[in-house]
């Protein structure tokens, strides 16, 4: 294939897929020349000239174009020119287009889907991340990770493959070649991050009980000594998740589909789905606006930070509690 399209938000997967195609080209041609362009700045003429010109030592060329979606939208003449190239690519070069978002209904994108290699490099679900950890550990780390240990690792680190891969290597090094990583090993060596402790506030707010929310808030601020900025962000993040999930439900998706689309992972999925289902999009949008306005008031010295956090936590818990009662 002379044109390859990669798209998605997982940089690790994007690099892995690029490396895989590079290996295939090196095996096929016995060596290649690599060129990389940033689509936000690159000139159309530079990219096409590189693809069509001969290398000094007649090696096959690999031309990587990052931010391909930004590149294609920068001027009216770029997309038609690239479409013509994809219809008739040169034999001595391979073009890798790396998209952040991929418009499957565009003429150029349809052409790519028709006859070229197109790969998704998107954030995966926790279940797939767990399965990936098990396979990755055995294949690349010369160790075995038990399923419940892999599940805990994903719960603590999230589904970002770069971070998971790095931690798997550390754990494999700890247990030694051929060793087994069990749940106790993960629990002892992979601690919850400071940010993850703060996300416990979201679970407290989602109970719909103001007293529970305020109690957790005070614990974080006065006992754990967490930064107020981080706690404020956790509340705004919860409002965003609720609003996004509710809007996706309103568009016809099921609550389960909606939480995945809203990038809600872990144990909070069910609670957020239930709360979003019970509330209204306008109400959650108002909550998000209030979080942003409260942040602005604190930063400008017009409000007391700790007090505004308590008011916001109570407001959010009351709204969720009222929605659950109506439901």
pLDDT in the model for residue 281: 85
Which of 145, 165, 189 delimits the end of a domain?
Answer: 189
Is the same domain home to 322 and 203?
Answer: yes
Q: What is the mean pLDDT of the chain?
A: 87
Give the pairing type, strands 93-99 and 144-145.
unpaired
Q: Is the pLDDT of residue 325 over 60?
A: no
pLDDT value of position 56: 61
Residue range(s) defining the domain that contains residue 261? 195-326
The contacts of residue 170 (CB under 8 Å, 6+ apart) are: 189
Same domain assignment for residues 211 and 307:
yes
Q: What are residue 4's DSSP bridge partners?
A: 96, 117
Instruction: Identify whether residues 222 and 256 lie together within a single domain.
Output: yes
Dist CA 84 CA 52 (whole Å): 13
Check residue 213 and give left, alpha or beta (phi > 0: left; psi -120 to 50: alpha): alpha
pTM over 0.85: no
Answer yes or no: do 111 and 53 share one domain.
yes
Confidence of residue 307 (pLDDT cuts 50, 70, 90): confident
Please report, for the domain that includes residue 230, its CATH number: 1.20.272.10
- The reported pLDDT for the residue numbered 227 is 81
pLDDT at 301: 79
245 & 311 share domain: yes
40 lies in the same domain as 144: no
- Note the pLDDT of residue 323: 60
Residue 327 pLDDT > 60, yes or no?
no
Q: pLDDT tens, 191-221? A: 665 556 667 888 899 998 999 999 988 888 8
Per-residue pLDDT tens over the stretch 165-181: 989 999 999 999 999 99
Report, as an integer, the average pLDDT of 135-148: 93
Q: What are phi and psi of 73, to 5 degrees?
A: -100, 5
The DSSP output letter for 287 is H
- pLDDT > 80? residue 237: yes
- Decide which of 44 and 295 is more confident: 44
Shared domain check, 167 and 111: no
Q: Is 204 found in the same domain as 319?
A: yes
Q: Tell me the backbone φ, ψ of residue 116, rounded to 5 degrees.
A: -120, 180
pLDDT band at 294 (very low <50, low <70, confident <90, very high): confident
Where is the domain boundary, 120, 142, 157?
120
CB within 8 Å of 188: residues ≥ 6 apart = none
Q: What is the mean pLDDT of residues 288-295?
A: 87
Most confident of 132-141, 153-162, 247-256: 132-141
Q: How far apart are CA 285 and CA 34, in angstroms?
A: 47
Answer yes or no: do 38 and 116 share one domain. yes
What mean pLDDT comes out for the span 130-157?
Answer: 92
Residues 141-169 have a mean pLDDT of: 89
The per-residue DSSP string of 8-38 comes to: SS-HHHHHHHHHHHHHHHHHHHS-EEEEEEE
**CATH (domain of 13):** 3.40.50.300
Answer yes or no: do 249 and 310 share one domain.
yes
pLDDT at site 99: 94
Give the count of domains, the chain.
3
Residues 9 and 93 in one domain: yes
CATH classification of the domain holding 171: 1.10.8.60
CA distance 179 to 135: 15
Residues 29-86: pLDDT tens digits? Answer: 888 899 999 999 999 999 999 999 876 666 889 999 999 999 999 999 999 999 999 9
Same domain, 218 and 163: no
Instruction: Show which of 69, 102, 120 is a domain's final residue.
Output: 120
Distance from C-alpha of 284 to C-alpha of 131, rounded to nearest angstrom:
34
Q: How far is CA 157 from CA 38, 43, 154, 233, in A?
A: 30, 39, 5, 19
């Amino acid at each position: 294939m002379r044109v390859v399209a990669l798209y998605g938000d997982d940089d690790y997967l994007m690099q892995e897929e690029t490396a895989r195609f590079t290996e295939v080209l090196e095996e096929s041609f016995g060596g290649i020349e690599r060129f990389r362009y940033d689509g936000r700045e690159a000139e159309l003429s530079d990219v096409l000239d590189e693809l069509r010109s001969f290398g000094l030592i007649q090696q096959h060329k690999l031309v990587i174009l990052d931010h391909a979606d930004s590149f294609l939208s920068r001027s009216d003449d770029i997309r038609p020119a690239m479409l013509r190239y994809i219809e008739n690519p040169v034999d001595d070069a391979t073009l890798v287009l790396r998209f952040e978002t991929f418009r499957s209904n565009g003429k150029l994108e349809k052409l790519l889907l028709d006859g070229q290699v197109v790969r998704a490099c998107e954030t995966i679900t926790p279940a797939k991340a767990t399965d990936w950890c098990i396979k990755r550990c055995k294949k690349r780390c010369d160790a075995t990770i038990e399923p419940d240990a892999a599940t805990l690792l994903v719960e603590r680190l999230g589904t970002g493959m770069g971070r998971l891969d790095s931690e798997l290597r550390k754990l494999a090094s700890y247990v030694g070649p051929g060793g087994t990583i069990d749940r106790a090993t993960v629990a002892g060596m992979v601690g919850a991050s400071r940010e993850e402790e703060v996300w416990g506030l979201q679970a407290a707010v989602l109970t719909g009980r103001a007293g529970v929310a305020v109690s957790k808030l005070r614990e974080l601020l006065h006992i754990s000594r967490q930064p107020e900025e981080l706690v404020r962000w956790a509340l705004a993040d919860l409002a965003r998740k609720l609003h996004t999930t509710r809007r996706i439900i309103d568009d016809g998706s099921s609550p389960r589909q909606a939480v995945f689309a809203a990038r809600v992972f872990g144990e909070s999925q069910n609670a957020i789905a239930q709360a979003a289902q019970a509330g209204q999009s306008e109400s959650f949008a108002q909550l998000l606006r209030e979080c942003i306005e409260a942040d602005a008031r604190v930063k400008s010295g017009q409000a007391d930070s700790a007090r505004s956090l308590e008011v916001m936590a109570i407001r959010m818990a009351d709204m969720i509690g009222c929605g659950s009662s109506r439901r």
